[in-house]
Amino acid sequence: MTEKTAGIATLYIDGQWVPSSSAATRTVTCPADGTEVGIVSEATAEDTEKAIAAARKAFDSRVWADRPAAERGDFLLDVAEAIRQRKDEFARAEALDSGKRLVEAEGDMDDIIACFRYFGKIADQHPGRLVDAGDATVISRVVREPIGVCGMITPWNFPLLQAAWKIAPALAAGNAFVIKPAELTPHTTILMMDVLDTLGLPAGVANLVLGDGGVVGAPLSSHPDVDMVSFTGGLVTGRKVAEAAAATIKKVALELGGKNPNVVFADADFEAAVDNALNAGFLDSGLVCSAGARLIVQDTIAERFVDELVRRAEGIVMGGPLDEKAETGPLISAAHRDKVTDYVRRGIEEGARLRTGGHWGGPEHEEGCFYAPTVLDQCTSGMSVVVEEGFGPVITVETFSTEEEAIRIANDTEYGLAGAVWTSDAGTANRVSRRLRHGTIWINDYHPYLPQAEWGGFKMSGVGRELGASGLEEYTEAKHIYQNTEPAVSHWFPRKN
């Protein structure tokens, strides 16, 4: 278990659990009913600077970077096993913090375990390459080295999963890091530090600070001793991270929002497409950056398709994380619910037709931050609900006639994270998937991802990639080492007596 002072979960800096230097705290509540989940320390900017200094010292000492890559990989496999053994504890903490259903949190834990296992297995599989210098006396090679101190800022919708996508490759590569989870959902990241500490990760390699992003997270983007900052979250904050990082020319990895098209052709498997359109838009209450919030359906089946989508959406049961009858949970906070409410209101004012939802639920949901699954029909390009990321259980419906029109509509967004194509024609699937400007394309499916496959977006959805071989390379620098085995005088500048 993590260290606590008077029931308060503390920061983890330089291998020690320590309270905030200001003694400030934050109460974390469950958005399903407002009950208290726990009290955690609220760090200061000075605490973050201490954590950065600890990470800098640990990295420069090479205490972790010089461990054999295979040994670092074995450590990650041990992390995966430790989380597996404590899966129930981790899943419950995630569910209570975020409000998501326990079954969804359990699924997240399985994905997290798979992530650590993947990077554990490939940690020693990237030794670099030899380069043909065209000279037998020269040995030229390119090696990958750890980038250094990594700042990590993670979101509240998938708190530990997004942390794992950063922590696992960073440790596999030999880096040190400081992580700041979202202030609303800190508990599973705290548990993760407990695992790393228990397994004997050297002091200073992993550091945890808790608190407000503008105060605690800001130094991770701007501090000169941080070599890389990896941020997952919204576009507005992502821009601020990139701007702050620019002053020190540090590496930046951004996984931002999405406005993801789910394109359904008339020849698609109707039942499967409707079922997955619900999953695409309403899974995890729509609080997914890759959610299929833009349903783009061929006009010849649009009326039938949307009628069935609405009928099934109206039957979705809302409830808290431990409610076994619940099929979807609350939003993260009352403030976020208000944003979704305003988003839907503006869409209706602009001409969208509200088919279902658009409200907070029944009397049984008054204590929580619920918003009913919502479908907005008759949407067109330029509407705010089509352009903006709503980040809630809201599906907008657009229609198309031809393949070219479907591609144009699907690409008509400043984002480019993910999308799907539903069709029984292999040629259509191939052509459309190749032309969609999004980082992940599903064909006749929605939402699955693999830790072996790169994840990231085009355009405003971010820069860099997580997962896959590229996800490991994000946490390394390429270095060219050129060795002349028979050094000789070059005679470039003649010797003068």
List beta partners, residue 353. Answer: 377
Known active-site residue 255: yes
Q: Is 289 a catalytic residue?
A: yes
Beta bridge partners of residue 374, listed in sequence order:
394
Q: Residue 111 belongs to what H/E stretch? A: helix 102-122
* The one-letter amino acid at 403: E
The total number of residues shown for the chain amounts to 497
| Cβ atoms 52, 223 nearer than 8 A | yes
Beta carbons within 10 angstroms of residue 129's beta carbon: 11
Let me know: does 244 contact 278? Beta carbons within 8 Å.
no
Q: How far is 142 from 92, CA to CA, in rounded Å?
A: 45
Q: Cα–Cα distances in Å, from 389 out to 288, 332, 392?
A: 10, 16, 9
**Strands 374-377 and 353-356, sheet pairing:** antiparallel
- Identify residue 106 by its one-letter amino acid code: E
Choosing from 255, 389, 454, 473, the catalytic residue is: 255
Is the C-alpha dihedral spanning 43, 63, 111, 281 positive or negative? positive
Residue 460 DSSP class: G
As to burial, measured by CB atoms within 10 angstroms (0-12 exposed, 13-18 middle, 19+ buried), residue 323 is middle
Dihedral angle at the C-alpha atoms of 73, 75, 81, 83, nearest 10 degrees? -110
Helix (H) and strand (E) counts for the chain? 15, 22
- Separation of alpha carbons 451 and 126, rounded Å: 17
Would you state the structure tokens that stand for residue 82, as one six-digit string? 């430790």
User: How is residue 417 written in tokens?
Assistant: 């994270």
Residue type, 186: P
Q: Of 30, 115, 150, 289, which is the active-site residue? A: 289
Rounded Cα–Cα distance for residues 171 and 211 (Å): 23
Strands, E assignment, 290-380: 294-298, 353-356, 374-377
Q: Tell me how far apart the alpha carbons of residues 429 and 433 are, in angstroms, rounded to a whole number.
A: 6
Say if residues 152 and 177 touch (Cβ distance below 8 Å): yes
Contact 287, 441 (CB under 8 A): no
Kindly report the number of other CB atoms within 10 A of residue 364's CB atom.
11
Q: Burial letters for 241-263: b for 16+ Cβ neighbours within 10 Å, e otherwise? A: bbebbeeeebbbbbbbbbbbbbb
Token pair belonging to 216: 């605690």
For residues 234 and 222, give the distance between their C-alpha atoms in angstroms, rounded to a whole number: 18
Catalytic annotation, residues: 255, 289
